[in-house]
Amino acid sequence: ILSLGMEIRRNAVLDALIDAFEPQFVYERSDSMLRIEEGLNQRSGLLYGELPEELIITSAGVKYHVDVAHGQKTGFFFDQRENRLALERYAKGVKRALDLFSYTGGFTLHLLKGGAKVVYAVDRSRPAIELLKQNVELNGYSSQRVLTFVKDVFEFLEEMSLAGEKFDLIVIDPPSFAKKRKDIGEALGAYRTLHEKAIALLNDGGYIATFSCARYISEADLIGSFYVAARRLGKSFYLVEHLHQAKDHPVLVGFPESESLKGLLLKHKFSPSD
């Protein structure tokens, strides 16, 4: 709960959740800094039922350990569910994939499921990477198929470039770079840097999936930042798919900021002149 309007209705929301779903537990994660701007205190904790010591969920046929109490937001990002399935379809025949800002392995696991032989997973959060390793084991995949790195993504990309590493499919799913309108310029600069570094690591004919969960960054902004990066490197790409938040995260007409997740799947247009 981030706003005063919803805070006023907090108890009604809780009662409705219990009545509609009869859940095992309800755990509140109202610990965003946005509450401070609304004049509200940050708050998190168990509101109903009993939180199990080990929580395992299944999403789109993949199992995950979830840390509700300490993970990012609710501990799992359901808005990417359909996009994970989309990328799974492109993983067949991929020898090396790269999952940037991997968190607990949502994309990593679907790339493995789709047939990618090896996935490099990068996140600066050690607890997230540890959960990712557990999720790989939970789903029955060999740990040899996943190489994990607890590292800043920008630094990692620089190291991979210096080492001459290449990948067939790259996923870029960063946290929000623009929480406020004043952050848009800086955010677009970060996207351009990410895109340029990722494109430099892509094999000829490879795929890049890039996302923005920032409400103030439009799909046009995302396409523009990618185009500038590709042009600097003399590379051409096809736009294969527009990717969006899952259908249970509806976009309200007249409120464009409710379309928080935008994504693009792009394929390198390889030619001998590249």
| Model confidence pLDDT, tens digit, residues 83-106 | 999 999 999 999 999 999 999 999
- Secondary structure class of 156 (helix, strand, coil): helix
Does residue 223 share a domain with residue 124?
Answer: yes
Answer whether residue 69 shows pLDDT above 80: yes
Does residue 176 share a domain with residue 76?
Answer: yes
Instruction: Residue 39: count other Cβ atoms within 10 Å of its Cβ.
Output: 8
When comparing pLDDT for 267 and 248, which is higher?
Answer: 267
Contact 204/270 with Cβ under 8 angstroms? Answer: yes
Answer whether residue 274 shows pLDDT above 60: no
| Assigned domain for 273 exists | no
Domain that holds residue 123: 67-268
| Model confidence pLDDT, tens digit, residues 155-206 | 999 999 999 999 999 999 998 876 777 878 888 889 999 999 999 999 999 9
Cα–Cα distance between 190 and 42 in angstroms, integer?
29
Contact 229/199 with Cβ under 8 angstroms? Answer: yes
| Assigned domain for 26 exists | yes
Closest CA to 140 of 180, 112, 173: 112
- pLDDT score at 39: 94
Residue 271 confidence class, pLDDT cut points 50, 70, 90: low
| Model confidence pLDDT, tens digit, residues 234-243 | 999 999 999 9
**H runs (alpha helix) in the chain:** 4-8, 10-21, 34-37, 81-88, 106-114, 126-138, 153-163, 184-200, 219-232
Beta strand pairing call for 118-123 and 96-100: parallel
Does residue 173 share a domain with residue 45?
Answer: no
Contact 17/10 with Cβ under 8 angstroms? Answer: no
Is 213 noted as a catalytic residue in this protein? yes
Does residue 103 share a domain with residue 195?
Answer: yes
CA distances from 96 to 142, 218, 247 (A): 15, 30, 30
| Model confidence pLDDT, tens digit, residues 103-131 | 999 999 999 999 999 999 999 999 999 99
CATH number at residue 233: 3.40.50.150
Instruction: State how many domains the chain has.
Output: 2
- Secondary structure class of 52 (helix, strand, coil): coil
Cα–Cα distance between 73 and 82 in angstroms, integer?
19
Answer whether residue 218 shows pLDDT above 90: no
| Assigned domain for 167 exists | yes
Cα–Cα distance between 37 and 21 in angstroms, integer?
31
- Secondary structure class of 172 (helix, strand, coil): strand
Closest CA to 109 of 130, 138, 152: 138
Residue 272 confidence class, pLDDT cut points 50, 70, 90: low
Contact 113/61 with Cβ under 8 angstroms? Answer: yes
- Residue 14: partners with Cβ closer than 8 Å, 6 or more residues away: 26, 47, 48
| Assigned domain for 62 exists | no
Instruction: Residue 19: count other Cβ atoms within 10 Å of its Cβ.
Output: 8
Q: Which entry of 213, 261, 264, 266 is annotated as an active-site residue?
A: 213
